[in-house]
Chain A
Amino acid sequence: MKFLCLACDQAMEFAERQLPGDGTLAAVFGCPTCGREIAMLANPMETQLVSSLGIKVGGREVPEQPLELVRSSLAEGRPDAFLDDSAPANPSAVQGPVTWSDDAVQRLSHVPTFVRGMVKRIYTDYARERGIERITPEIMDTARTDLGLEGM
């Protein structure tokens, strides 16, 4: 899937992702020449078609986690199937320690345990790559939108 700016005959670049609700995924693409922007809106079914390939519209912000597709797609995973530690997917990207605020920890505790450890690593990787030292619920919101973590 590529988006072409017809006025400039140039490929548009991915700019941002949003989850406006309703299960909609919005991906914004902009023309690097004229600045024109378009938003591609996908309903949950369309999103699922792409994500069942383990693929993200607009590309990946953080490296894919091991078994990411299985862990994020399985409906009834065994709660204690995984014992996650926090070693990042991309050790060379490590900036410094990342801490979690109490309310961020609280919010993470609502994530089903089958995926919790992985989700924690994704948020941590996201923070590390942006030099964010402390994860708060606000950071989690931004990350969720940026990463298009529908349902996580």
Chain B
Amino acid sequence: MRRFRTYNQVEETGQELPAQVAAQQERLKDRLASVRSIWLVGSGKGGVGKSAVTANLAAALAARSFSVGGLDGDVNGPSLARMLGAERGPLRSDGVGVAPAAGVAGTRVMSMDLLLGSADAPLRWREPDAAAGFIWQSTLEAGAVREFLSDVAWGTLDILLIDLPPGTDKLSRALQLIPEPAGVLLVTTPSEAARAAVARSARLVREAGVRRAGLIVNMAGHACSSCGHVDALFAAAADHRLVQESGMEAWARIPFHAGFATATDAGRPPVLDDPNGPAAAALLALADRVASTLDTEPL
């Protein structure tokens, strides 16, 4: 039988794929050298308020004079640009980088939403064979997020918040791209149904050795829109078990408040316009906690 040398034993000619992947990694590292801290906002389940938390946290920190970037890591269901009130005007680009869009309170925003034809346009890739598209769609999605990180002219940032798509797998993928985030926020509702998903994500975060990890219990109670009084929405016992089984500390409990959704979804984060509202107050307290870590974050 003929014996071959292995791939690594054969001399490099400089055009190999690994060298190009290494160059991409280098580009990412260079770009992020001026970003003090990166926080990931994820969840095991969808629709629990990740984007709303990300947008309000970003706005609250920016209002405190931190330089804040918001990256929409959800390329299929982008919502961060809208929630941060970013204009859909053309993005300036040169050979070095693409300027982020300007959001409320001076936040810098990048989202697939800014690149798609209309607000309801689904994400479609050019593909030679649509039937086999699933093979590379997730590769392209991951590539898009990598480019949003490495090719956007973020400038100097105190904090870059990344709003992830739902699912523990997406959090895992994000941790491959950003192996050492300054922190991870796991958003959940305090329901029995969310418990297993939260526990899975929490375990992933623990095993990745993430420095700071906080559980955000969203829609924890219902705030009356006229008097602001908060009623328990889910049983307190479920909330308690959820936090306990996740092994994480609850960094915030945010009540459900109808006005909060309307304003956030319209690009007017209530932390700026209605800071005394019940949900906004909880988010401002969360911003305090995150801000307290920023002062100690080295550049």
Contacts and interface: CB of A to CB of B under 8 A. Distances in A.
Interface stretch (B85-93, B213-221, B240-248): B85-93
Contacts of A9: 5
B21 A49 contact: no
B117 A69 contact: no
Interface stretch (A54-62, A129-137, A139-147): A54-62
B208 interface: no
B151 interface: yes
Given A53-B17, A67-B147, A121 B95 contact: yes
Given A52-B139, A77-B116, A125 B95 contact: yes
B98 to A, nearest CB: 5
B132 A45 contact: yes
A66 B93 contact: yes
Contacts of B196: none
Which secondary structure characterizes the binding site on chain A?
loop
B93 A82 contact: yes
A11 B126 contact: no
Given A11-B10, A49-B135, A66-B96, A81 B143 contact: no
Contacts, number: 157
B98 A87 contact: no
A15 to B, nearest CB: 10
Contacts of B124: 74-76
Contact of B115 (A52, A72, A81): A81
B114 interface: yes
Contact of A53 (B15, B21, B89, B121): B21
Interface string B117-149: 110010111111100100110011001101110
B125 A67 contact: no
Contacts of A65: 95
A7 interface: no
A66 B27 CA distance: 10
Interface in B27-85: 27
Contacts of A56: 20
B90 A81 contact: yes
A106 interface: no
B97 interface: yes
B292 interface: no
Nearest to B12: A11
Contacts of A91: 95
A63 B96 CA distance: 10
A59 B91 CA distance: 29
A2 interface: yes
Contact of B11 (A11, A44, A55, A81): A11
A118 interface: yes
Identify which of A13, A50, A52, A83 gathers the most chain B CB atoms within 10 Å of its CB: A52
B298 interface: no
A39 to B, nearest CB: 15
Contact of B20 (A2, A14, A60, A74): A60
A101 interface: no
B94 A76 contact: no
B29 to A, nearest CB: 15
Contacts of B151: 66-68
Contacts of A1: 16-17
Nearest to A82: B93
B24 interface: yes
Contacts of B14: 59
25 contacts: A14-B13, A45-B132, A47-B128, A52-B139, A53-B21, A59-B19, A59-B20, A69-B140, A69-B147, A70-B147, A73-B125, A73-B126, A73-B140, A74-B124, A74-B125, A74-B126, A75-B124, A76-B116, A78-B115, A78-B117, A81-B90, A83-B90, A121-B94, A121-B95, A125-B95
